[in-house]
């Protein structure tokens, strides 16, 4: 069993077919099939069920896949370190949208004060996408606002956040100042796309109370949500951090919800098998200490 076996196995699992993996790897399809068979024979397990010309990964295959991603990632990291030995650090960091807009740039700038030669790559997307990148070892770690669903990921809190209800200047809620959660059943709601932690928290709260969610518009960015609310297309629940400036300028308005609070924790997430370097730990320490400086 070699690294090549694991690379081929990962590609088959990601593509869902031998043919797709062969195209991605630029090798013949029989070679892919033979490699998978060698792995199955080596461990005496079935990695995929073949039903109606489709591949379905088995529970044993999923377990091996978790190890394989980690081993291949560590092997590639070793090669890079040995070939390009340097005192500089390289970090690949994922972040969800609220954190990406409000915190990530400043955290990176603070880190660069200590490591001016560091190479930092950042990826901002919703929680579901970022979680998947951590599982595939495509990033070193991520800063997220939504709940994590995989047992292969370690999640550690580093900062608190609050979602608030906002409306535009012409919305009837503005004159009232506060409402009850049930009243949102009849409102046109502007929400983030599926996979967003912000949306998941809001919808779960509504549904847990037995209330319907009337979605008027779906936006994949906080900027689009703010513009929609400013245009009085509807109301939205969003992080206070994102709309702080608009609230201060009286462009958007915070409406209290008497019987509900949307509190959450920002979290650092990483694969349970990830090697944690000193450079990663130093970045995390900035995250842990950032809340105090942010609130000053």
Q: What is the pLDDT of residues 63-114, one digit of tens each?
A: 999 999 989 988 888 887 776 655 557 899 999 999 999 999 999 999 999 8
C-beta separation of 133 from 14 below 8 A: no
Give me the chain's average pLDDT, please: 90
Tokens of 92: 């690949």
Q: Which domains does the chain have, with CATH numbers?
A: 3-83 (1.10.10.10), 90-159+265-294 (3.40.190.10), 161-263 (3.40.190.10)
**pLDDT exceeds cutoff 80 at 152:** yes
Q: Please give the pLDDT value at position 52.
A: 76
Least confident piece of the model among 43-47, 48-52, 137-141: 48-52
DSSP state of 185: G
To 5 degrees, how large is the angle CA 267–CA 95–CA 61?
Answer: 80
Q: Please give the pLDDT value at position 146.
A: 81
Give kind and range of the element (H or E) at residue 66: helix 59-83
**pLDDT exceeds cutoff 80 at 170:** yes
- How does residue 173 score in pLDDT terms, banded at 50, 70 and 90? very high
Secondary-structure breakdown of the chain: helix, strand, coil percentages, each rounded to the nearest 5: 50, 25, 30
Q: Please give the pLDDT value at position 76.
A: 85
Q: What is the pLDDT of residues 116-126, one digit of tens each?
A: 888 999 999 99
């Amino acid at each position: 069993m070699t690294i090549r076996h694991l690379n081929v196995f990962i590609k088959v699992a990601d593509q869902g077919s031998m043919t797709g993996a062969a195209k991605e790897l630029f090798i013949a399809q029989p070679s892919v099939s033979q490699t998978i068979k060698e792995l199955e024979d080596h461990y005496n397990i079935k990695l995929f069920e073949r039903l109606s010309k489709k591949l379905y990964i088995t529970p044993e295959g999923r377990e091996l896949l978790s190890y394989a991603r980690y081993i291949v990632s560590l092997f590639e990291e070793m090669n890079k370190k040995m070939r390009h030995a340097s005192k500089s650090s390289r970090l690949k960091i994922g972040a969800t949208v609220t954190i990406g807009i409000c915190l990530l740039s400043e955290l990176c700038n603070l880190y660069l004060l200590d490591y001016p030669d560091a190479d930092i790559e950042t990826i901002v997307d919703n929680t579901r996408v970022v979680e998947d990148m951590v599982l595939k070892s495509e990033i070193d770690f991520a800063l997220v606002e939504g709940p994590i669903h995989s047992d292969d990921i370690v999640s550690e809190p580093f900062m608190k956040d609050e979602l608030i209800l906002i409306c535009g200047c012409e919305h009837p809620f503005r004159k009232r100042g506060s409402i009850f959660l049930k009243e949102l059943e009849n409102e046109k709601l502007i929400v983030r796309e599926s996979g967003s932690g912000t949306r998941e928290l809001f919808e779960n709260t509504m549904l847990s109370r037995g209330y319907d969610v009337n979605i008027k518009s779906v936006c994949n960015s906080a900027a689009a949500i703010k513009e929609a609310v400013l245009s009085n297309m509807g109301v939205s629940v969003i992080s206070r951090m994102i709309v702080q400036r608009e609230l201060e300028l009286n462009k958007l308005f915070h409406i209290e919800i008497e019987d509900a609070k949307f509190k959450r924790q920002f979290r650092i997430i990483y694969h349970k098998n990830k090697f944690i370097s000193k450079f990663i730990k130093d970045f995390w320490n900035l995250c842990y200490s950032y809340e105090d400086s942010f609130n000053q």
